[in-house]
Amino acid sequence: MLVALSSGLVLAGCALAAHAPWFRVRVVSWTGPLLLSEQRCAAIESACLGRPLLLLSERALLKDLALDGRILRLRMNRHLPGTLELRLEPRRAVARLDARTAIDARGRRLPPEHAVAGLPLLSGFALDANGERLDRGLQPVLDAVRDLFALPTLAPSEVRLSGRNLELVLADSGSRVRLDAGHAAAQLLKLRIFEESLGGEPLPATIDLRFADQVVVRQGGVRHASRRSR
């Protein structure tokens, strides 16, 4: 009986805590690669503010956002006492070739509704003759740059390919990174080592990795302030 009574008291305490005023949403932050319009972000933030932090559900918020849960994943992280972190991610798509063409990690073309705003744009990339997947010769380039997509400071908003010349436009800083497409994997590893060496300092405006054992930079890179962090 004492065990049952204790369990009941614990459940009652949890219920009271969930509704307690000090555990209500006071701050909403956005993370992840996908961007909603400022108006849509403001609307969902307004709907969340003041509500019990521990009782909000992903499914309800997806419905409020009018987003398709088969295409997008909404993750919620609750930081007591009153911060709600929302992270919006694609379920299958990793990049898009244009406004209506998205591809998955294996380069396969997805239905048009998967081509959501915020996915990295691949410029100069093309599908194969059947239009069903990325051209076979381009898959190694996608594999190399895809490793950056989950990194907050190095994820590109656009990947531009012209012959063997590859340029990344980084979403966080606006920096431009120049590579040799044929050696992208090795040169992007050099980029990650270079960024670590900066110790949190802003990335240069231009980073050229095409030279052996060198990183050629032009200063002037500025990290853009944003209401969202990746």
Mean pLDDT of successive 10-residue stretches along the chain, which has 230 residues: 45 47 87 77 88 88 78 89 90 94 96 92 96 95 93 93 96 94 95 93 95 86 43
Residue 28: which of 9, 59, 51 has the closest Cα? 51
For position 222, what pLDDT does the model report?
Answer: 45
- Give the domain extent around 170: 95-218
Instruction: State whether 110 and 209 are in the same domain.
Output: yes
Instruction: State whether 106 and 169 are in the same domain.
Output: yes
* Domain termination site, one of 90, 125, 157: 90
For position 227, what pLDDT does the model report?
Answer: 40
Give strand ranges (E) for 151-205.
Answer: 156-162, 165-170, 176-180
Q: What is the rounded distance in angstroms from the CA atom of residue 139 to the CA atom of residue 137?
A: 6
Q: What is the rounded distance in angstroms from the CA atom of residue 125 to the CA atom of residue 83?
A: 40
Cis bond leading into 81, ω under 30°? yes
Q: What is the rounded distance in angstroms from the CA atom of residue 3 to the CA atom of residue 114?
A: 51
Domain CATH number, residue 43: 3.10.20
Instruction: State whether 111 and 209 are in the same domain.
Output: yes
Number of domains in the chain: 2
Instruction: State whether 81 and 116 are in the same domain.
Output: no
For position 57, what pLDDT does the model report?
Answer: 85
Instruction: State whether 76 and 179 are in the same domain.
Output: no
- Specify the pTM: 0.76
Is residue 7 domain-resident? no
Is residue 223 domain-resident? no
39 token code pair: 């108006």
Instruction: State whether 80 and 154 are in the same domain.
Output: no
* Domain termination site, one of 39, 64, 90: 90
* Domain termination site, one of 70, 90, 110: 90
Contacts of 165 (CB under 8 A, 6+ apart): 178, 179, 180, 181
Q: In a 10 Å sphere around its CB, with 0-12 CB exposed, 13-18 middle and 19+ buried, how is residue 115 labelled?
A: buried
For position 230, what pLDDT does the model report?
Answer: 46
